[in-house]
Structure 1
């Protein structure tokens, strides 16, 4: 049950970072599309971990999928997409720090444990 809760929390926080970055740049990414990206990215990371992949691969595998889905959903120029993705990563990192440090939740970036 804890794994399911952590999975849903990771999907939500990941999708939230895509959604907020889109709002900041006024790209208009609907929340349901942000959740699809979050679900895809977290699922790929979880599958890579389940198959016994090394930590660097668990972190690396979701990147191209998240980037591709964001580009597909946004339908903007490449520089605008890239800026949205960079802001998403910054928000993602800012969310990860308190979640890892205060709540011992490492599912966002498993290799980067702060507590």
Structure 2
């Protein structure tokens, strides 16, 4: 049950990072599309981990999926998409630090254990 809770928490926080970045840059990504990206990225990372892949691959594999889905949903020029993605990564990192440190939650970036 804890794994399921952690999975949905990771999907929510990951999707939230996409949504906030899009909101800040006024790209208009709806929350449901941000959650689809979050679900896809977290699911792919969990699947890669379940297959016993090395940690570098678990972290690397979800990136292209998140990038492609964000580009597909936004329908903006590449420069605007790239800026949105960079801001998403920054927000994602900022969310990860307190979650890892205070709540011992490492599912956002599995290989980056801060506490």
TM-score, normalised with respect to structure 2: 1.00
Query: 1:24 maps to which residue?
Result: 24
SS at match of 1:87: helix
**Residues in 2 aligned to 1:108 and 1:60: alpha-carbon distance in whole angstroms:** 13
- 1:30-49 superposed matches below 5 A: 30-49=30-49
How many residue pairs match? The answer is 115
**What is the CA distance between 1:94 and its match in structure 2?**
0.1
Structure 1 counterpart SS, 2:5: helix
Unaligned runs of 5+ in 2: none
Structure-to-structure mapping, 1:1-115, within 5 angstroms = 1-115=1-115
Deviation of 1:114 (Å): 0.3
RMSD over aligned Cα atoms:
0.2
Q: Point out 4+ residue stretches in structure 1 off by more than 6 angstroms.
A: none
Q: Quote how far apart the aligned CAs of 1:40 are.
A: 0.2
SS at match of 1:64: helix
Instruction: After TM superposition, give the deviation of residue 32 of structure 1 in Å.
Output: 0.1
- CA–CA separation in structure 1 for the residues paired with 2:83 and 2:4: 32
